[in-house]
Structure 1
Amino acid sequence: MTALLPVTLAGPTITLEPLSTEHHDGLVDAVRDGELWNLWYTSVPTPDSMAAEIDRRLALQAKGAMLPFTLRRNDTGEVLGMTTYCNIDADTPRVEIGYTWNRASVQGTGTNPESKLLLLAHAFEQIGCTAVEFRTHWMNHQSREAIARLGAKQDGVLRAHRWGPDGSLRDTVVFSIIASEWPQVLAGLTYRLAKDR
């Protein structure tokens, strides 16, 4: 597996930049758009905990356990949210795309599928992954539908998988795209994004 080093991934509408502490104020502004931390089935940082979340992700990056990105609009420079490569398995190799959130006002506008296209292309074409995984809370129907629309297939449900921020046990839905499916997923995402522009 090619080493997971910080990299900038640019598309026509958005750019994924390596996460840094300089993104703090933009991320606080983004998370306030829709007060995303109030969704009980998500783990989105509050404005007050954003600095700690940036530090947490960067510490995991230093250990080789995560590669975090900040999502930014190309036309305005506005920060839209965060995403990562995580659960990195260098031996297989495979990664998960996760810990993703985007400001509420851009949800449904195509920025999320474009960021997933950039991450998937890098994972399959540069890193050489055999599979890319996605996980979400059973109750997060919006996320489950968005992952399925990418072309990912549901692998199963990890029941009582981990504790949520509200103290409840979370059932985690696991999806994946394998390398042999990537050409078809790429064609579908490219068509979908071109149609929406």
Structure 2
Amino acid sequence: MSRWIEPVTLEGEHVRLVPLKPSHEAGLAGAVCDGELWKLWYTFVPQPHKMRAYIDTALYMRDRLGAHPFAVIDVKSGAIVGSTRYFAVDEANRRLEIGHTWYARRMQRTALNTEAKLLLLTHAFEKLDAIAVEFRTHFMNHASRTAIERLGAKQDGILRSHQVSRDGVLRDTVVFSIIQSEWPAVRANLNHRLDR
């Protein structure tokens, strides 16, 4: 049976996004230790010893819900430095979300992140013919909100008391999107940022 999002490797000058596999566990466990990312209260990043369960959940979402999880590889070093995912896939309406994204601290706010988003968005809009791509983040995750806005995404709204976090705190979720007609300007912006 054909799926809207088939397994694909996306590669640029700085980053390679490869379909996530169980064999990526050790690399991801090492990457998450750079910055102890699991300690951030406003986002979910797995602890190193829970990486296999994280991968299993991502692969379940792939097999049952049409998602496509990636391991993020730094082209320069060949090291696995994080993970990202197409998910919340709505094939009938040609919409998807990019999320479950985290990078080792040393890779945050680098060309690798910018290029990863450019590759994901290019594939979504130009190969999958997506109508819209969403991004969601915790209201208190100001760094993520700023990064999403820098992409050129527009804020659609805030879902108040949207989710219950691991520690029982209610999460307000900020929803952003890029729609098909905005893609040329977003692409130009991302290419300009990479050229700098």
The alignment's C-alpha RMSD in Å is: 1.1
Match of residue 92 from structure 1: 93
Residues 3 and 66 in structure 2, CA contact (< 8 A), matched pair in contact too: no
Residues 2 and 126 in structure 1, CA contact (< 8 A), matched pair in contact too: no
For residues 140-177 of structure 1, the C-alpha deviation after alignment (integer angstroms, 9 at most, x for no partner) is: 00000000000000000000000112210000000000
Residues 85 and 96 in structure 1, CA contact (< 8 A), matched pair in contact too: yes
**Cα displacement (A) at 1:29:** 0.4
**Cα displacement (A) at 1:65:** 3.3
CA distance in 2, matches of 1:108, 1:129: 26
Give the TM-score normalised by the residue count of structure 2.
0.97
**Mapping for residues 48-197 of structure 1, pairs under 5 Å:** 48-195=49-196
Secondary structure at the aligned position of 2:93 is classed as coil
Secondary structure at the aligned position of 2:13 is classed as coil
Match of residue 36 from structure 1: 37
Residues 4 and 64 in structure 1, CA contact (< 8 A), matched pair in contact too: no
Secondary structure at the aligned position of 1:91 is classed as helix
Residues 2 and 127 in structure 1, CA contact (< 8 A), matched pair in contact too: no
Secondary structure at the aligned position of 2:124 is classed as helix
For residues 4-50 of structure 1, the C-alpha deviation after alignment (integer angstroms, 9 at most, x for no partner) is: 11100001110000000111110000000000000000100000110
Instruction: Give the total of aligned pairs.
Output: 195
Give the TM-score normalised by the residue count of structure 1.
0.97
Unmatched tracts of structure 1, length 5 or more = none
**Cα displacement (A) at 1:75:** 1.6
Counterpart residue identity of residue 76, structure 2: D
Overall identity of the aligned pairs, in %: 52
CA distance in 1, matches of 2:94, 2:188: 23
The 4+ residue runs of structure 1 with deviation greater than 2 A are none
**Cα displacement (A) at 1:57:** 0.4
Unmatched tracts of structure 2, length 5 or more = none
CA distance in 2, matches of 1:8, 1:150: 22
Match of residue 12 from structure 2: 11
Counterpart residue identity of residue 27, structure 1: L
